[in-house]
Chain A
Amino acid sequence: ETGVTQSPTHLIKTRGQQVTLRCSSQSGHNTVSWYQQALGQGPQFIFQYYREEENGRGNFPPRFSGLQFPNYSSELNVNALELDDSALYLCASSTYGTDKNIQYFGAGTRLSVL
């Protein structure tokens, strides 16, 4: 158990809808990173939040947005869902700037877009 929790575990949406995924970081961690993992592929970095601000972004469109709260928990929001957004969404917490920067992952949210 990493202490990183994600909700919900599964979600089914239709094309064009909006979705919010949630992540509680491990105690003592101040940074949350979000990844998208399509079936049969490795995770792709979406963005990272540190001190409640976006602190780096991968190659994802602006309809992917996020928030980080003062307790370091985080949300991932996706607007105008597309079929290709179907994936496992993983959140990882860490402590920014430490030399090892080990990221601890939650179990993920499986999003299906119909």
Chain B
Amino acid sequence: GEDVEQSLFLSVREGDSSVINCTYTDSSSTYLYWYKQEPGAGLQLLTYIFSNMDMKQDQRLTVLLNKKDKHLSLRIADTQTGDSAIYFCAEILMDSNYQLIWGAGTKLIIKP
């Protein structure tokens, strides 16, 4: 079945880079997404990558995709206290009415 896995916590120092990792299972996924959720809030789309791309950069965010290993990562450069949140990766099932399958989320903790 479909499954998306992420580690639950990541702790980094302010100013360092954060790398959040995700593995997925559906090789037919055409798009993969990263969403951010702050406490008590909904999900905010951060970025997405098309499956025929290896990398996408958007300001402080870099997404790397290894399709062979079904591995996705999100790098946040110069991590700030405002980046504290839970980060979710999600894959889209094109054969199931574009349903999104989500990981459990990685809580990013920023140390001063």
Which residues on A are within 8 Å of B, measured CB to CB?
Answer: 2, 4, 6, 33, 35, 40-45, 48, 50, 55-56, 58, 90, 92, 94, 96-97, 99-108
Contacts and interface: CB of A to CB of B under 8 A. Distances in A.
B99 A45 contact: yes
Interface residues of B, number: 24
A42 to B, nearest CB: 4
Given A43-B102, A107-B42, A102 B48 contact: yes
B51 to A, nearest CB: 11
A29 to B, nearest CB: 13
A4 B42 CA distance: 10
Interface stretch (B10-18, B72-80, B90-98): B90-98
A101 B42 contact: no
B45 A45 contact: no
Q: Indicate the member of B88, B90, B98 with the most A CB atoms within 10 Å.
A: B98
